[in-house]
Structure 1
C-alpha cells in the first residue's frame, strides 16, 4: 500500500501546501473547456438508432424502388384536415386553397400535391390538371355532382387512403382527410426509418406550418421536419425543466448536509465546474447532445455531491483546534485512494456501454465515463483546495460560526449519539448475531429476484422520445423559462393511427427479389398469406395485404377486357394469374393504374413489395415473428422490413446491449477490485466482498422493472451497467474505510462501528442527494427519461441499503477466515478483547472467533464478568490495557 500512500500523500500535500496554485490551474482549464460549450450540437429521435438494424438496408431498397405515399422520410409533408365533413364543397375548397398557397411558395420546392379534393376534381373534369383548374371545377360543382364523383373515386385505393376510416361513399362524408405534398430537397440522401433532429425537412415544414395557420379550417402539418423540430425542442425543454429542478433539490439537500454557507457555496462552484468541463469536452470531441445525454447532468451532480460530502465530512471528523492541515492532510490521504477506486469502478461500469451496437448508447457511455473522471479531479483535488483557502481566510477574518469556534468545525453526519447512529449500525447488529444467516438470506433473495426479473421485456418506438399527448399540468403551466413549447406530433401520430388505414410504414413489408414473370410468382405470394400469422389482419381466411395483385384485382373489376386477360391466364380460377404475367403487367402500365404499379413492382419486374396490415394490438416481436414466417413461405430472396420490424430489431439490440454491458461491467469491475485490493492491501477477497451488495442490487432492480411493467428501452438499456458503476461506490467507500480502521485495531467491531458511523453517515447524505438528483428525471417530459430517472434513483437506494446491511456480515465472515485476522491473532490465543464500553460490554473471543456479551459484576485484580448468554460468571485477568483491553481467562465461575 506504500505506493498508493505515496501518491495520496503527494496529492494531500499539493492541496494543503499549495492550494492557490491548484485553484489557478483549474480555473484556466475551466476557461479552455468552457469554450467547447459553443461547439455542442443536438441530435434526437429514433433515426440515430436504426443504422444498426439489418432490416434497414432492405427498407432503404424498398424506399428507393417504390417509395411510400405516407412515409415522412421520403420527402413528403402531410396536412391533416379535420372537419364535420371534409368532403363537403366548402371543405374541399379550403383544402385546395391550402394546396395552392403552399405550392405557390417557390422556397418549399413542391413537386406534387394530392388530396381528396384533387381526385374529386379530376373525376368531375379529367382535363383539370392544375390546382387552379381543379379549384374552378369544385367551385362550379353542385353537391350532388360532388357526391357522384366521390362514389366513382371510391374505387381508387389511393383516394381511400387519404380519407379517415369513417368514410361513407353513399353519403359522401368523412371527418378527416390528408393532403400530401412532395418536396425536392437538394443534397438529401437520407432514407432511414425514424427521424433525427437534423432532418433535412425541418425548415421546409416549419415554413409550411406557418403558411397553413393563415387559412380557415382545422389543419395540422405532420412530417419528419416537424418531428425533428419537436425532438430538438424536447431536448431544450427537458434540460430547462430537469437541470433547474435537480439543482434546486440537490442544493437544498446539500445545504442541509453541510449546514454551512461557505461549504455550500464551495460545493455549488465545484458542481458547475464539473458540468462545464464535461460538456465542454463533448463539444470539442464533436459528440452531439441527444435525449439520452439529458440524464448525464443529474448523474454527475449526484456523484459530485457524493464526493463533496465525503471530503467535507471526512475533514469534520478529524478537525480540531490544532489546525486545518492536521485535519485535511489525513482526510485527503484516505479519500484520494477511496475516490480513485470509486472512480475506476464507476468509469468501468459506464464504459461497459461501449459494448453496445447502438451508437447513442456508446456515446452515453463515453460521456458518462468522461464526466466521472472530471468529477474525480474537480471534487478530489479542486474542491479540497478551495476548502483550504476558504478556511484559512475565515480563520484570519474570524468569520467562523459559534459551533465552529467551540469545536473547531461543524459536526459530521452520523457522529456518536446522533439520531442516525442506530440506523447506521443496524447492519452490525444483524451481522454480529448471525452473519452466515444474513449471507444465506442475501443469496436466496438474489436468486428469487433475479429469476423473477429475468422476464423484463424490451421496447423501442418513437413514443419513447416524444412527450405524451396530454402534458402534465406542472409542466404545461410552469413559469418561463421552465415551461414547454407546443407539441403536435404525438397527438397527430395517435390521430393518424386511430383514423386512417395503416400506411406502408405501419405495416409489415416483405421485399421480394425474384423474376416476377415466372408462372408461380404471384401464386407464391398468394399462398404465403393463405394461413395468416396471428399478428396480421385477416379478411376471411386470408391476410389483409397490398401488392401488385391488389392492382390487378382493382383494374379487373373496372375493365372487362383486362378481366378476360386475367381469367385466360388463371389456371385454377382463383383470380391470381399464372401465365403470361409480362403481358398482364404491360396492360397495367398502360392503364390508369400505372402509378399504382410503380408502388409494388420494379421496372425490371425482378423486385416486388407486399404490405401486410398488422393487428393494432400486435407487439413488435409478434410482427417480427410474422415477418420471419412469411419470409420462409416465399421461395427466393424475401426480406421482412418496415418500421415495426426495424424497431423490433433495435429492441433486440437494446436487450442484448443491456445484458452484455451488465456482464462486462460485472466482469471488469470484479477484476479491477480484486487487483486493487490485492496490490494495495494484500487482501484480494475484499474485492469480491465489494460486489456482494451490488449483485443483489441488480437483481432487485430487474425485479422492480418487471413488477411495475417497466421495459428496457434505448436509455434503460444502460441502467444495469450504470447501477454497477454507481452502486459499487457505496461498498467501496465502506470497505476502504473499514480497512483503514481495521489496521489499527484488534477487533473487527472496533473497525466496523466508526466505519458505519462515519462513512455510513456520509453515504447517507450522498445517497439522498444522488437519488433525489437523478430521480428528478421522473418529472421529465418524455417517458424514456422518466423511467430512467425513477429506476436509477431506486438502484441507488437499493445499493445504499444493501451495502449498509450486507457488508457488516460479509466483513465479519471475512474477518474469521481472512489472512489479516490470522496474522494478528495466532492460533490458540485465548485473548478476549474489549469491544465496547457500555453497560453490557461486547467482546471478541479470539479463540473461537465469535463475539460474546459480558456484564462486569466485580472489579479487582481479577475482574469478574457475567456471561449474558448463559448467566454464569467467568473470571478474567487484565493483562494489558489500551484502546482494547486484553484479558487472560482464568476459569468459569
Structure 2
C-alpha cells in the first residue's frame, strides 16, 4: 500500500511538474507582452501576474505536493475515502468518453465553425471603441460625479486643453499680437467645441477696457499685472506662455479627432521663431486611446510570438510549438466578438485581455497536449489518446477553470464599471478558454497528429519531439 503514494509522487514529479513548468514558461512569455504597453498601470499589472504565477508554482511544488504525499502515505483512512471517490468518478469518466468520441466524429465541423466564428470576432473587435473617460469608470450615482456634472452646467466646461508656445521673448509686441490673434480665431475655428479661451493677451485686454494695448502700454500692463496671475500665463524667464482652451466634454474618439485638428491648426498659424505644443490632461486621454487601440493588438501578437518561440525551444518541433497557439487565436477572436455583441468598450483593464487569454489558455492547451503525446508514446492511436486525455486531464482543467471563474466573479459586484466589465470579460474569456481546450483542442490534435512523429515507449530510438 505504501508504494502507491511513492509511485504517484514519482509520476507527478517526472510527468506533471515538467508539463506545468513548460506551461508556466509559456504563460510568463505571454505576460511579457504587457511590459511593452506605454500605459504604466498595464505594465504593473503584467509584473504582478508574473510574480503571482511564479509564487503559485513554487507553492504547488514545495507545499501542495508534500501535503498530498503525507496524507496518502501516513493516513490509510484517507486512501479508503479515495476509493469511494473513484467509484463516484466512474460516471464522470463514462460521460467524458462519450463526449470525446462525439468530438472525434465532428472534428472537421468543429474546427471549421471555430475558425469562421473567430474570424468574425476579429473583424468585430476592429470596430470596438475605447473608453478613457474616468467619469465613465466611476459609480454613476455617486454624489461626487453629480457635483462635477452640476459644476459643468454652471461653468459650461470643466475640461481644458493647454497650448504652450515658446520663443526667445514671449512678451514682445509682435508675438503678443500673434497670441491675441490665435486666442480669438481658434474659438471661431472650432465654435462647437471650444467654449472659452484665455491667454496673457486676454488679461491685457481686460486691463485696457477690452482693447489690445500697443507698444509701451504692453510693458506697463505686464509690469502692473499681479505676479500670481502672471505666472499662470507666462513663465518667469519670459520664454514660455500658455493659451488655455475650455472645451466641451467629449467622448474619447471625438476628443482625439479634435486634438489632431487643433494641432494642424496651430501648425498652420505658427509664427516664425515660435514653437507650439498642444498638451494637458485631455491630450493624455487622447494618447491613451492610441495606446489602447494599437497597443492591445501589438501586445497580443507579441505575446503569441514569444510563446511560439519559447515552445519551439522547448519542443524543437514547429508543429508542437504551434498547436497550443491555435486555440488561443480562436479565443482572442471570440473575445473580441463578445465585446462587440455586449457593446463593451476597451479600457486600460480590458486592453490586457489578450495577454490574459494567452496566459490562461496556453496553460490549459499545453497540459492537454502534453498528456495527449504521453498517451501516444504508450502506443495508443490518436483517437484513443485523446479520449484518455480528455477523461484524465479534462477534469483537472474543468476544476481549475471553475475555481478561477469563482475568484473573478467577485469583480462583477463592484460599483466601478471598469472593474465589473473587466470581471465580466475575464469570466467570458476563461469560459471560452475552457471550451476551446476541451472541445476544439482535441479536434486540432487529431488533425495535426500526422505531422508529429511519435516513437512508442520501449523502442530503441528516442521519441522524436
Does residue 513 of the first structure (1) align with residue 166 of the second (2)? yes
CA contact under 8 A between 1:675 and 1:684: conserved in structure 2? no
Does residue 611 of the first structure (1) align with residue 244 of the second (2)? yes
Out of 264, 275, 286, the position equivalent to 1:648 is 286
Larger Rg: 1
1:487-502 to structure 2, matched below 5 A, reads 489-502=144-157
> What corresponds to 1:665 in structure 2?
303
CA contact under 8 A between 2:328 and 2:433: conserved in structure 1? yes
The separation in 1 between residues aligned to 2:103 and 2:277, in whole angstroms, is: 60
Out of 543, 546, 551, the position equivalent to 2:203 is 551
Deviations 1:768-825 (A, max 9, x none): 111121232222343332222221221111111011121221122123343239999x
Deviations 1:581-610 (A, max 9, x none): 45235236537x876555334566553322
Deviations 1:814-857 (A, max 9, x none): 23343239999xxxxxxxxxxxxxxxxxxxxxxxxxxxxxxxxx
- Greater Cα shift, 488-497 or 453-462: 488-497
> What corresponds to 2:348 in structure 1?
714
Out of 610, 623, 632, the position equivalent to 2:267 is 632
Out of 417, 422, 430, the position equivalent to 2:91 is 417
> What corresponds to 1:531 in structure 2?
189
Out of 400, 422, 447, the position equivalent to 2:119 is 447
The separation in 2 between residues aligned to 1:795 and 1:706, in whole angstroms, is: 14
The separation in 2 between residues aligned to 1:616 and 1:547, in whole angstroms, is: 21
SS in 2 for 1:368: helix
Aligned length: 448
Deviations 1:41-95 (A, max 9, x none): xxxxxxxxxxxxxxxxxxxxxxxxxxxxxxxxxxxxxxxxxxxxxxxxxxxxxxx
TM-score under structure 2 normalisation? 0.85
> Structure 1 residues 391 and 423 mapped into 2: Cα distance closer, same or farther (>3 Å)?
closer
CA contact under 8 A between 2:184 and 2:197: conserved in structure 1? no
> What corresponds to 2:232 in structure 1?
599
The separation in 2 between residues aligned to 1:391 and 1:410, in whole angstroms, is: 14
> Structure 1 residues 339 and 594 mapped into 2: Cα distance closer, same or farther (>3 Å)?
closer
> What corresponds to 1:842 in structure 2?
none
1:235-250 to structure 2, matched below 5 A, reads none
The separation in 2 between residues aligned to 1:686 and 1:534, in whole angstroms, is: 57
SS in 1 for 2:441: helix
| Aligned-residue offset at 1:727 | 1.2
> What corresponds to 2:463 in structure 1?
none
Which segments of 5 or more consecutive residues in structure 1 lack a partner in the other structure? 1-319, 472-487, 538-543, 558-562, 567-575, 825-893
The separation in 2 between residues aligned to 1:631 and 1:698, in whole angstroms, is: 41
The separation in 2 between residues aligned to 1:594 and 1:340, in whole angstroms, is: 64
> Structure 1 residues 547 and 820 mapped into 2: Cα distance closer, same or farther (>3 Å)?
same
1:185-204 to structure 2, matched below 5 A, reads none
SS in 2 for 1:714: coil
The separation in 1 between residues aligned to 2:313 and 2:48, in whole angstroms, is: 26
Which segments of 5 or more consecutive residues in structure 2 lack a partner in the other structure? 459-465
CA contact under 8 A between 1:353 and 1:657: conserved in structure 2? no
Does residue 621 of the first structure (1) align with residue 299 of the second (2)? no
> What corresponds to 2:141 in structure 1?
470
Does residue 459 of the first structure (1) align with residue 131 of the second (2)? yes
The separation in 2 between residues aligned to 1:357 and 1:470, in whole angstroms, is: 32
> What corresponds to 1:68 in structure 2?
none
CA contact under 8 A between 1:654 and 1:712: conserved in structure 2? yes
| Aligned-residue offset at 1:335 | 0.7
| Aligned-residue offset at 1:340 | 0.8
> What corresponds to 1:754 in structure 2?
388
> Structure 1 residues 795 and 424 mapped into 2: Cα distance closer, same or farther (>3 Å)?
farther
The separation in 1 between residues aligned to 2:153 and 2:269, in whole angstroms, is: 31
CA contact under 8 A between 1:508 and 1:613: conserved in structure 2? yes
> Structure 1 residues 517 and 424 mapped into 2: Cα distance closer, same or farther (>3 Å)?
farther
> What corresponds to 1:348 in structure 2?
29
1:227-306 to structure 2, matched below 5 A, reads none
> Structure 1 residues 524 and 386 mapped into 2: Cα distance closer, same or farther (>3 Å)?
same
> What corresponds to 2:440 in structure 1?
806
Which of the pair is proportionally richer in strand? 1
CA contact under 8 A between 1:424 and 1:761: conserved in structure 2? no
| Aligned-residue offset at 1:767 | 1.0
| Aligned-residue offset at 1:529 | 3.5
Structure 1 stretches of 4+ with a deviation exceeding 6 A read 821-824
The separation in 2 between residues aligned to 1:774 and 1:711, in whole angstroms, is: 19
> Structure 1 residues 736 and 774 mapped into 2: Cα distance closer, same or farther (>3 Å)?
same
| Aligned-residue offset at 1:444 | 2.0
> What corresponds to 1:400 in structure 2?
78
Does residue 694 of the first structure (1) align with residue 328 of the second (2)? yes
Does residue 429 of the first structure (1) align with residue 64 of the second (2)? no
The separation in 2 between residues aligned to 1:370 and 1:823, in whole angstroms, is: 37
SS in 2 for 1:323: helix
CA contact under 8 A between 1:508 and 1:611: conserved in structure 2? yes
SS in 1 for 2:174: coil
SS in 1 for 2:384: helix
> Structure 1 residues 425 and 800 mapped into 2: Cα distance closer, same or farther (>3 Å)?
farther
Deviations 1:270-309 (A, max 9, x none): xxxxxxxxxxxxxxxxxxxxxxxxxxxxxxxxxxxxxxxx
SS in 1 for 2:324: helix
Deviations 1:88-112 (A, max 9, x none): xxxxxxxxxxxxxxxxxxxxxxxxx
CA contact under 8 A between 1:694 and 1:728: conserved in structure 2? yes
The separation in 1 between residues aligned to 2:80 and 2:222, in whole angstroms, is: 94
SS in 2 for 1:530: helix
CA contact under 8 A between 1:693 and 1:803: conserved in structure 2? yes
- Greater Cα shift, 778-787 or 693-702: 778-787
CA contact under 8 A between 2:376 and 2:382: conserved in structure 1? yes
SS in 1 for 2:247: coil
Higher RCO (C-alpha under 8 Å, 6+ residues apart)? 2
SS in 1 for 2:194: coil
The separation in 2 between residues aligned to 1:388 and 1:746, in whole angstroms, is: 30
> What corresponds to 1:819 in structure 2?
453
The separation in 1 between residues aligned to 2:235 and 2:61, in whole angstroms, is: 65
The separation in 1 between residues aligned to 2:277 and 2:162, in whole angstroms, is: 8
